[in-house]
Structure 1
Amino acid sequence: MTSYNNLHFRVVPHIVDEIAKTAPDTKWVEVPRNNDNLEDGYKILTFGQLSQAVSRMARWIEKTIGTSTSRETITFMDRQNDIRYIFAIIASMKTGYKILLASTRNSEEGQRAILQRTNSKKFLHGQGMREEILALQDEKTPIEAFEVPP
């Protein structure tokens, strides 16, 4: 197995890409095949697959909202609590953004307060959430909503 002890001072996107380049078939995580029935077993995802998914999301972010040179905060929320959150975290780092991981459990008032406090105006979201996201908008909370492709 390859040693990655020299990676401790590097940023996560570079570490993921380095492992994907040198050992793409290395297991990253096991996820349920079916979130509704864990008896269906688990599938292994590799660092190669992680790197591809992150790069795909980073390209989508860059194409959709551009990159940030000022470490602007973007928000991500999805109804699914799955590994897309990890993809969003690493892709936001690759494109220069800070990321706020919003929760569907927050009240509208709480969500607005968090968005205002973090000055986050760009909201990336899962499928079918656009109306819910735009409902958070008011004069103090401008929002641009962008649906992340599946």
Structure 2
Amino acid sequence: MSLAARVLQAARDRGVMIATAESCTGGLIIGALTEVPGSSDAVDRGFITYSNAAKQQMLGVRAESLRDHGAVSPEVAAEMARGALHRSDAGIAVAVTGIAGPGGSDHKPEGRVCFGLAQPDGVRVETVEFSAIGRSHVRAATVDHALNLLLDALRDQP
């Protein structure tokens, strides 16, 4: 069974729907989930918020957070995840924002991705440094990591 199929089964087992909020992956996470036949009973929606304006308009990310921390930050990932949860019928939401490359800076290097995971009891964030492994590899690694975050959280629920 694929990782996405395991995530969907865990969501079904817990009776929750999933939402995603994606920037650097451009919809690849929701795409992986909806690639699995029958996913409509566990997937609510995906927000593709590539621009800062989309993050604000669709997810309620605060302009101050974007200005003070930048789009690629734990603060913005948390707000994206919280926004996806509150603006959907989902019981769990994962958000990703990162620098897939090429490029980056000393302060925010290529391959840095911030993840947010929101559930009704709160939001947790983490940052992963995938390094400069190339755009497609960073995006693929981000999808896998996001799906694993969802799976772990769904398995940990009572």
* Alignment TM class, shorter chain as reference: 0.3 to 0.5
Q: Which has the higher contact order (CA 8 A, sep 6+)?
A: 2
Normalising by structure 2, report the TM-score. Answer: 0.37
TM-score by structure 1 length?
0.38
